[in-house]
Chain A
Amino acid sequence: MIKKITLVLFALFLAGCTPIFIKEDKPIVLNNTTGQTTLQGSSGEIDNVTIKNINDNLTDGLVYDMSKDGKDLLIGNLSDTITTNITSAGSSLNMHLYNVKSNQLKQILTSSKEQVNGLMDNNNDGMLYVEYKEDDDGKPIPNSYTLNWSNTVGTMTKSISDPDESVSEKFYITNNTLIYGNSNGEIKLMDIDTIDEENIYPKTYQLDTEEPLSITKIQYHSELNEAIFLVKNSESNSTDLYHVRLEKYLLNPILIEKNVSDFDLAQDRKGILYCISGEKNKLVYLEMLQLVPEKDILYEGAVKFFSFSPDEKEIIFSEKIDSSSNTQNLWIMNSDGNELKQVASNLKITGNRIIFHPNKNIIYFSVYDIDEENPKDFIYKVYKIEYAY
Chain B
Amino acid sequence: MKFTFRTKFIIINLAIVLLTMLILTILVVQGLMYYNITSSQKRLLDDSIKGVFYIQQEVKTDQKSKNYETTFISKSVSIAENLASANDTRVLLYDADGNLITDSANVEVGDDIDLDEEVSLALDDDVQKGQSVSKYKRLEDISRIYNLTPILIDDKKIGVVAFIYSLEFMDDIVQKVVMLFQASSFISIIIIAVLGHYLTKSILKPIEQLVDSTKRVSQGNFTELIDYHTDDEIGELTSNFNKMTLNMEDKINQIEEEKQKLTSIISSIDDGVIAVSLNKKVLFFNDKAKEILNIPMAANLLSYNDVPFLLETFIEVAEREEEIIKQLDHAEKHLLIYGNLMKSDMNSIGILLVVRDITKLYQLEKQQRQFVSSVSHELRTPLTTIIGYTDLLMRRGTDNVELLNKSLDTINSEGQRLLRLVDDLLSLSKYQNTEFKLIFNNVDINTLLEDVVTQMKIKSTKYNIDILYNSVELPIIPGDYDRLKQVFINILDNAIKYSNSKEVIKVMASYYDNDIEISIRDYGSGISQEQLEYIFSPFYRVDENRSRELGGTGLGLSIVKRIVERHRGHVHIESKLGEGTMVVVQLPIYT
Give A contacts to B, CB under 8 Å: 6, 9, 12-13, 16-33, 35-38, 45-46, 48, 50-51, 53-56, 321, 327, 329, 342, 344-346
Contact = CB atoms under 8 A, between A and B. Distances in A.
B425 interface: no
Interface in B125-181: 126-127, 130-138, 146, 148, 154, 171, 174-175, 178
Interface of B: 19, 22-23, 25-26, 29-30, 33-34, 37-38, 41-42, 45-46, 49-50, 53-54, 56-57, 60-61, 63, 82, 86, 117-118, 121, 126-127, 130-138, 146, 148, 154, 171, 174-175, 178
Chain B, interface SS category: helix
A12 B146 CA distance: 26
A16 B178 contact: yes
A26 B171 CA distance: 19
B127 A29 contact: yes
Contacts of A50: 154
B61 A342 contact: no
B86 A321 contact: yes
A36 B41 CA distance: 10
Nearest to B46: A37
A38 B46 contact: yes
B41 A16 contact: no
B19 A21 contact: no
Given A9-B19, A29-B126, 14 more contacts: A17-B29, A17-B171, A17-B174, A24-B137, A25-B135, A28-B135, A29-B131, A35-B41, A51-B56, A321-B86, A345-B50, A345-B54, A346-B54, A346-B86
Given A16-B178, A55-B61, A26 B135 contact: yes
A329 B50 contact: yes
Nearest to B174: A17
Contacts of B49: 32, 37, 46
30 contacts: A9-B19, A9-B23, A13-B25, A16-B29, A17-B33, A17-B175, A18-B138, A19-B37, A21-B34, A22-B34, A22-B38, A26-B135, A27-B117, A27-B134, A28-B135, A29-B134, A30-B131, A30-B132, A30-B133, A31-B130, A32-B45, A35-B41, A35-B42, A37-B46, A45-B130, A56-B61, A327-B86, A344-B57, A345-B57, A346-B54
Contacts of A23: 136
Contacts of A31: 130-131
A46 B174 CA distance: 34
A19 B57 contact: no
Given A27-B133, A35-B46, A38-B46, A54 B26 contact: no
A321 B85 CA distance: 11
A54 B127 contact: no
A30 B41 contact: yes
A53 B56 CA distance: 11
A16 B48 CA distance: 31
Contacts of B175: 17
A13 B26 contact: yes
Contacts of A345: 50, 53-54, 57
Contacts of B53: 48, 342, 345
Contacts of B154: 50
Given A17-B178, A19-B34, A54-B60, A24 B136 contact: yes
A190 to B, nearest CB: 42
A100 to B, nearest CB: 15
Nearest to B127: A29
B64 to A, nearest CB: 12
Nearest to A45: B130
Contact of A21 (B30, B46, B132, B134): B30
Nearest to B153: A51
A55 B58 CA distance: 10
Nearest to A51: B60
B52 to A, nearest CB: 9
B134 A9 contact: no
A28 B134 contact: yes
A9 B30 contact: no
Contacts of B46: 32, 35, 37-38
A46 B178 CA distance: 40
A18 B53 CA distance: 35
B26 A24 contact: no
A165 to B, nearest CB: 44
A35 B50 CA distance: 13
Contacts of B37: 19, 22
A12 B38 CA distance: 21
